[in-house]
């Protein structure tokens, strides 16, 4: 697979990058740029085997199995998270049931991962994203929304914000999911006009930064930048259900997508 990789950012340089991203995101909301505290970080720089499993949905579904692979940082409700060459990776997605170590099946065609921590409020989530390829399985045919999405203020699978950063239909969208409805127990509401003609840049590292903040009027503001440039923003004043003002987890959703992530951090906004 041909992958154009930019230099890895490590140590002090990585920390400086996160602080710059936090200031950039703050400016996007019209606030004074400032340096925020790093609340959470994972550079996936762990000892690596052929496929080093971080955690998977088997661990979530089998909480009493002492041999299940669990992470102190992440919980996978679907799919598998590996470390490969010092980055987080979905594996080549398939659609069959996960085994204990994701050796035969990883189920990453439906990839759902969130932090164990649920205390993230006004934050910037930054990460590097490398999209290898879109996929399909017999269980998961191609859909326009296939791709990678960032979760914010995650309360449950039916209450969250989702920012679609790579989609099969070349669309960038900011949505809220409210409880009750046809989408796995919830309904999605698009919070701003989607940005069209943003095709997935396969094989190229992208720098993603998403900021969420409560506004004084009780609404919630969300913005997305790609490679340092503002791309989309939205304000939730209560479309579909009340704005999600309380803290929650952050997470990553993947649908029929083989991708890697690196240098993920949550910075106070």
Q: Average pLDDT, stretch 35-63?
A: 86
**Per-residue pLDDT at 138:** 96
For the stretch 242-269, pLDDT in tens is 999 999 999 999 999 999 999 999 999 9
Reported as a pLDDT band with limits 50, 70 and 90, residue 17 is: very low
Lowest mean pLDDT, pick from 32-41, 74-83, 215-224, 244-253: 32-41
**Per-residue pLDDT at 15:** 45
**Per-residue pLDDT at 142:** 98
Reported as a pLDDT band with limits 50, 70 and 90, residue 123 is: very high
* Whether the predicted pLDDT of 91 surpasses 80: yes
For the stretch 168-227, pLDDT in tens is 999 999 999 999 999 999 999 999 999 999 999 999 999 999 999 999 999 999 999 999
**Per-residue pLDDT at 47:** 64
One-letter-per-residue 3-state SS of 174-191: EEEEEEEEEECCEEEEEC
Q: Average pLDDT, stretch 50-65?
A: 91
10 or 95, higher pLDDT = 95
Reported as a pLDDT band with limits 50, 70 and 90, residue 45 is: confident
Mean pLDDT for the chain? 89
Residue that has been written with the tokens 């230099």 in this structure: 7
Q: Say what percent of the chain tops pLDDT 90.
A: 83
Task: Tell me which of 3.10.350.10, 2.60.120.560, 2.40.50.140, 3.40.630.30 is the CATH number of domain 11-268.
Answer: 2.60.120.560
* Whether the predicted pLDDT of 119 surpasses 80: yes
* Whether the predicted pLDDT of 31 surpasses 60: no
**Per-residue pLDDT at 22:** 43
Reported as a pLDDT band with limits 50, 70 and 90, residue 128 is: very high
**Per-residue pLDDT at 51:** 56
């Amino acid at each position: 697979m041909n992958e154009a990789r930019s230099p890895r950012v490590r140590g002090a340089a990585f920390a400086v990058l996160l602080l710059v991203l936090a200031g950039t995101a703050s400016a996007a909301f019209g606030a004074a740029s400032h340096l925020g505290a790093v609340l959470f970080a994972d550079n996936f720089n762990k000892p690596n085997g052929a496929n080093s499993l971080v955690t998977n949905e088997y661990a979530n579904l089998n909480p009493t199995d002492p041999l299940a692979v669990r992470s102190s940082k992440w919980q996978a409700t679907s799919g598998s998270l590996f470390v490969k060459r010092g980055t987080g990776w979905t594996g080549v997605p398939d659609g069959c049931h996960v085994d204990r170590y994701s050796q035969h099946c990883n189920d990453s065609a439906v990839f759902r991962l969130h932090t164990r921590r649920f205390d993230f409020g006004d934050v910037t989530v930054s990460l590097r994203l490398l999209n290898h390829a879109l996929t399909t399985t017999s269980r998961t045919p191609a859909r326009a929304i296939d791709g990678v999405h960032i979760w914010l203020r995650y309360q449950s699978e039916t209450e969250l914000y989702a920012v679609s950063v790579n989609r099969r239909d070349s669309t960038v969208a900011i949505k809220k999911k409210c409880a009750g409805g046809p989408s796995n127990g919830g309904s999605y509401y698009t919070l701003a006009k989607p940005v069209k003609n943003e095709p997935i840049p396969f094989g190229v590292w992208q720098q993603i930064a998403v900021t969420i903040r409560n506004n004084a009027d009780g609404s919630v503001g969300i913005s997305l930048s790609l490679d340092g440039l503002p791309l989309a923003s939205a304000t939730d004043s209560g479309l579909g259900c009340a704005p999600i003002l309380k803290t929650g987890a952050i997470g990553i959703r993947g649908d029929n997508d083989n991708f890697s992530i690196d240098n993920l951090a949550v910075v106070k906004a």
